[in-house]
Chains A and B, each alone.
Chain A
Amino acid sequence: MGCINLLRDFFKKAKSSKYAVLDIPGRAVSPKDEEMIKCGECGEVIYCKEGDLEKHYKVCKKCNYPLKLTAMERLSLILDAGSFVEYDSKMESKNPLNFPEYEDKLVAARESTGLKEAVVTGEGTIENIPLVIGVMDQFFISASMGSVVGEKITRALETAVEKKLPIIIFSASGGARMQEGLLSLMQMAKTSAAVAKLNSSGQLFISVLTNPTTGGVTASFASLGDIIIAEPQALIGFAGPRVIEQTIRQKLPTGFQRAEFQLQHGMVDMIVERKDLRRTLSRLLLMHKRV
């Protein structure tokens, strides 16, 4: 039954919407198939039955807070319908340190998200402009960066160089993945080196920072975009607010490390609301299109 519904929706929406529908394998709506979710900021209940995603983009109607999106939801809101081809879809994490409980954590994350790892990479089009895209999924161990995330991001950047395509990466991350120890830390060096390579080849890299982007991801590729866009109210920083509070032993001012704070301090180019994001990206891509 569900399958038929999905298929029917696929055709219906493909016609009526400029946005891609959820034509990407994997969970569509939210990890637990929730019918409604609560706004993390003001507590307002938001209904997210099928089809609602395109109406409100999972942004709270009351306080305008953008709720977490899965990687697949993000792709479907950004890319042209049916244009996405995934890279490295079978790459999986190992437990190189034999870290306690890591395997259980991975299994649980795979089950709840339907993903193999915390980033989905591939290529697709926005308004018919081809690009390489990477989207981190926070529902997978807080989208922390271990070997697989680092490798997939690096390969995506290298593919952009090879195919002479622009690349957009949507970041959201708790930082380096502790369970893979120093191998995770080294992914920061690896991805940053790949951005250097991309820069010397002259390809465009747009980094979109979503809520929350912290730690090793902020301190590597996510901060190295030619253009850096943030989603409204997104928490963006190197150290997490709790760590800072414990270190300096004082309460942090309201709005600290939010996107608006980062814009004020010169760390991002612009804040773009979810509903305008696709249009903004397509315009930027067009301005960098090579003739």
Chain B
Amino acid sequence: MSNKLEFDRPINELEVKINELKIFSEEKEISLDKEIEVLEERLNRLKREIYENLNPWQKTQIARYVERPSTMDYIKYIFQDFIELHGDREFGDDKAMVGGLAFLNKSPVTLIGHRKGKGIKENVLRNFGMPHPEGYRKVLRLMRQAEKFKRPIISFIDTPGAFPGIGAEERGQGRAIAENLMALSCLKTPIVVVICGEGGSGGALALSVGDRICMLEHAVYSVISPEGCASILWKDSNRAEDAASVLKITAQDLLEFGIIDVIIPEPLGGAHRDYQCTAENIKDVIMNQLKELDKVPVDELIKNRYNKFRKIGEFLEQGK
């Protein structure tokens, strides 16, 4: 029960009830279709009421939800013949990061992304999706490979952030992220970024410099976790809900700021209710974006990418 979403509980309870009715009606061979139909209508209304009015903190909880599909699910549903490639050739293989090759329809692509675990045990193995420098260096290697073979790159973002630890600092976490930012800014191949869960600060940005930044409807992308912000601002990490709303972290806010390009719709009730449908929505967007990017000559692609990030920022200049 503890890992269920609090605000989602009424929906969940109703879903359970409807299921019970269905089973009951099958077992006893009594038609309850009308009753079920009424309840299903109510369920849809409830989903709409709740999911169309989510506040930024609720979205944060959805983005972090253990049952929410993530990188590996999308790789499975969207691409064919995935082959994982391991290691940074320098230090190790970061299990919080995944990379490899696959077919998108019939064209080969390079896939990179953060990798969270589904349960506690896998999450410990995956370090909760928080990469070390070798993770960033692994994806950098794969991105350069993509450039060499002129394959587009699809990047899936779902991380609380880069790992803050002793080994990470000893091996140059800051430098590793910076190198990715610099390399991605001028990589000669199309890059489509999909922020599918948590976009946690620099650790997310290191894989998010691309030609198109797409974001799932209920994903979040933030410079600092709401908890971290609250503890700095009000010395109280319990005020994360307030912090989430001042930080402007939702896809809707970020589209308005011109930071992301596309919002990918989620099925009613969130991505965790229908992996297949979410994956199809993502696939449509990726296909459309790649089709557009394919027409752009490489020099122009890089110029456009530079300008895309160059123009982000709001300030005043007297006399101008």
Question: A97 touching B202 by the CB < 8 A rule?
Answer: no
* Cα–Cα distance between A190 and B168 once the two chains are bound (Å): 24
Kindly list chain A residues whose C-beta atoms are within 8 Å of the C-beta of B316: 91-94
Question: A99 touching B223 by the CB < 8 A rule?
Answer: no
Question: B202 touching A216 by the CB < 8 A rule?
Answer: yes
Question: A192 touching B312 by the CB < 8 A rule?
Answer: no
Q: Of A100, A182, A238, which one neighbours B246 at CB under 8 angstroms?
A: A100
* Cα–Cα distance between A263 and B246 once the two chains are bound (Å): 39
Question: B164 touching A185 by the CB < 8 A rule?
Answer: no
Question: A220 touching B165 by the CB < 8 A rule?
Answer: no
Question: B314 touching A265 by the CB < 8 A rule?
Answer: no
User: At the interface, yes or no: A36 with Cβ under 8 Å from chain B?
Assistant: no
Kindly list chain B residues whose C-beta atoms are within 8 Å of the C-beta of A196: 182-183, 185-186
In the complex, identify which listed stretch (B65-73, B96-104, B172-180, B273-281) lies at the interface while the others stay far away: B172-180
In the complex, identify which listed stretch (A3-11, A19-27, A240-248) lies at the interface while the others stay far away: A240-248
* Cα–Cα distance between A220 and B202 once the two chains are bound (Å): 9
Q: Of A92, A147, A195, A239, which one neighbours B313 at CB under 8 angstroms?
A: A147
Contact size class for A?
Answer: 35 or more
Contacts of A191-207 to chain B: CB distance below 8 A: 192-197, 199-200
Contacts of A171-198 to chain B: CB distance below 8 A: 176, 178, 180-190, 192-197
Contact size class for B?
Answer: 35 or more
Kindly list chain A residues whose C-beta atoms are within 8 Å of the C-beta of B305: 193
Question: A182 touching B259 by the CB < 8 A rule?
Answer: yes
Kindly list chain B residues whose C-beta atoms are within 8 Å of the C-beta of A248: 164-166
- Chain B CB count within 10 A is highest, among A90, A186, A192, A219, for A219
Kindly list chain B residues whose C-beta atoms are within 8 Å of the C-beta of A188: 177-178, 181, 202, 205
User: At the interface, yes or no: A84 with Cβ under 8 Å from chain B?
Assistant: no
Top 5 closest pairs, chain A to chain B, by CB: A239-B164, A218-B174, A193-B185, A147-B313, A192-B181
Selected A-B contacts with CB under 8 Å, 29 pairs? A90-B318, A91-B316, A91-B317, A93-B315, A97-B248, A178-B229, A180-B314, A181-B222, A181-B249, A182-B221, A182-B223, A183-B312, A183-B314, A185-B223, A188-B181, A192-B181, A193-B306, A219-B177, A220-B177, A223-B172, A223-B174, A239-B164, A240-B164, A243-B164, A244-B169, A247-B165, A256-B166, A256-B169, A266-B172
